[in-house]
Amino acid sequence: MLRAHGLAIAAGGRTLCRELDFAVGAGELWAVLGCNGSGKTTLLHALAGLADAASGLVEFEGRVLADYPRRELARSVGMLLQREDQEYWGTLADYVTLGRYPHARSPFGGDPAGDALVARVLAEFDLAARALQPYATLSGGERQRARLAQLWAQAPQLLLLDEPLQHLDLRHQVQTMQLMRAAASGGCALVVVLHDLTYAAHCDRVLLLDGNGGHAQGAAAEMLEQKRLERLFGCRLAVCGSGDAAHVMPVI
């Protein structure tokens, strides 16, 4: 579905990642891990076609990303940005409905299927009771869930999510991880920037960025090994639990 060939990304005069060959197939849930400033957001922007890579190319469904008209691409590729600086003064339901824009045939035409999808994702993200509330009055966690719901309403095949769990309480973090897993089970491909190693363990594969050009990728169990993560993050970790329940936690 998504493939990067010899990709290099840079920011602030630094090469953050070089010679990355990376492929995400339908049904896969990938986590991207790394320290602050290691290039996770920059990488997602390059994979979404929102920023140019320093070198290399990105393909979606065998076609170079840059060759897609933006609206056509938006029907298949969606991204949750880490930050959203502009305010929105409509209702929560109006905000989520904006996700249907790439699919609209006319700004004045009806979209019964889209309306049904919006209603469904509002319920899935526990927002139905807030549908008519002004978006500007929502809490930070509610806004984050609304942003996720807008992406789900867009219904892309490839979802690129930059820190989707930020601002969410524990219940809604778990809920969002479940919805991401369900999307993968339904044939979507997801690439997700995470900071919580516990949630990363629930992904299929993991990409590690060291911020100095280096990277590693593989099955989650392989990439989330204690010594590897200690080198990546520069702090001590301990293994808690055993067997399938084993996970690493920072030593305070």
Taking CB atoms within 8 Å and a gap of at least 24, the contacts of 134-141 are 134/89, 134/90, 134/91, 134/92, 135/88, 135/89, 135/90, 135/91, 135/92, 135/94, 135/95, 136/87, 136/88, 136/89, 138/92, 140/167, 141/167, 141/168, 141/169, 141/172
Query: Which pLDDT belongs to residue 157?
Result: 97
Backbone angles phi, psi at 72, to 5 degrees: -65, -45
| 3-class secondary-structure state, position 56 | strand
* Average pLDDT for runs of 10 along the chain of length 252: 96 93 97 97 96 95 93 95 87 95 74 89 97 96 97 97 97 98 98 95 97 96 94 90 71 83
Q: Which residues contact 184 (CB under 8 A, 6 or more apart)?
A: 27, 28, 29, 190, 204
Query: Which pLDDT belongs to residue 54?
Result: 94
- Per domain, the residue ranges of the chain are 2-76+156-250, 88-155
pLDDT tens track for 137-170: 999 999 999 999 999 999 999 999 999 999 999 9
Query: Which pLDDT belongs to residue 245?
Result: 61
Query: Which pLDDT belongs to residue 111?
Result: 77
Query: Which pLDDT belongs to residue 139?
Result: 95
Share of the chain above pLDDT 90, in %: 85
Query: Which pLDDT belongs to residue 241?
Result: 72
Query: Which pLDDT belongs to residue 252?
Result: 84
CATH number corresponding to 2-76+156-250? 3.40.50.300
Query: Which pLDDT belongs to residue 1?
Result: 92
